[in-house]
Amino acid sequence: MLVLVAPGQGAQTPGFLTPWLDLPGAADRVAAWSDAIGLDLAHYGTQADADAIRDTAVAQPLLVAAGILSATALGDITPGAVAGHSVGEITAAAFAGVLKDTDALGLVRKRGLAMAEAAAITETGMSALLGGDPEVSVAHLEKLGLTPANINGAGQIVAAGTMAQLAALAEDKPEGVRKVVPLKVAGAFHTQHMAPAVDALAKAAQDLTPADPRFTYVSNKDGRAVATGAEVLERLVGQVANPVRWDLCMETFKELGVTALVEVCPGGTLTGLAKRALPGVTTLALKTPDDLDAARELISEHS
């Protein structure tokens, strides 16, 4: 059984969209999306530097656009399940048919702007903890006033909070943690710091008419498969201020009988976690169009 997954913020790198725009019709499609949401996706995906695409209001629509573009390039596929990490859930909702592509881009544009606004209220950020016991790490984070915003499995937890709290964490790591790595994000996402963005996103969601997912849609709120478009949309709204439980998503993949996992562009992060947490599962990350043939072959073998 094949799972198709989409990465979250921090996966972007300068120029990563460049080769994808050479695919037939891709440049026109991205131009139309850019006009619809008022953001030059081609510029940010090909010419902008790392600081420019770190901006939440830019990074999020850029990631969703790249994910939809690369998933579409795979052709007419039928994965056993789809899922996304953080903003990648909007990408997953698009290729599960819950949201039309233009609606997904419109929603993520509003999401990025709202989260950037919320992040500007207090100087906050996120850091990844590598190694250690999850229970020990979570207790330590809570002692420092930090939120375990992403529990990713495979020995990785992401802490979120104020910069002062993160500085304290760097000086006082939980027992067993090998390393604390600051992430390239501009706020404490999936925490109470994002509460203002939830309200803005809820208003934006009122204008959408979601369809029920065509494939099994695994939610990163709790790893549960969600059957209705209305519930998917509700979870997309609340997700910005709730922790991401990617560890539970991977547990659900196991229960569903996953044998292969393909991560859409810019792939790498989630396949890395899967290699450690899902032994025996074949993984492939779509980094450039050169990976498409191998992905199609893998999909035909495991669908």
190 as an active site residue: the answer is yes
Catalytic residue among 34, 70, 85, 86: 86
**Domains delineated in the chain:** 2-120+191-302 (3.40.366.10), 124-182 (3.30.70.250)
96 has pLDDT over 90 = yes
154 has pLDDT over 90 = no
Q: Point out the least confidently predicted range of 17-26, 117-126, 183-192, 211-220.
A: 183-192
211 has pLDDT over 80 = yes
pLDDT for 184: 75
pLDDT for 65: 98
228 Cβ contact list (under 8 Å, min separation 6)? 212
What's this model's pTM, rounded to 2 decimal places? 0.94
How many angstroms separate the first and last alpha carbons of the chain? 6
The mean per-residue pLDDT over the stretch 73-99 comes to 97
Catalytic residue among 34, 85, 140, 190: 190
- Report d(CA 81, CA 220) in Å as an integer: 13
- Report d(CA 134, CA 124) in Å as an integer: 22
Average pLDDT score over the chain: 95
Band (pLDDT 50/70/90 cuts) for residue 155 is confident
86 as an active site residue: the answer is yes
The mean per-residue pLDDT over the stretch 150-156 comes to 88
Percent of the chain exceeding pLDDT 90 equals 94
Band (pLDDT 50/70/90 cuts) for residue 12 is very high
pLDDT in tens, 160-197: 999 999 999 999 999 999 999 998 777 899 999 999 99
pLDDT in tens, 262-285: 999 999 999 999 999 999 999 999
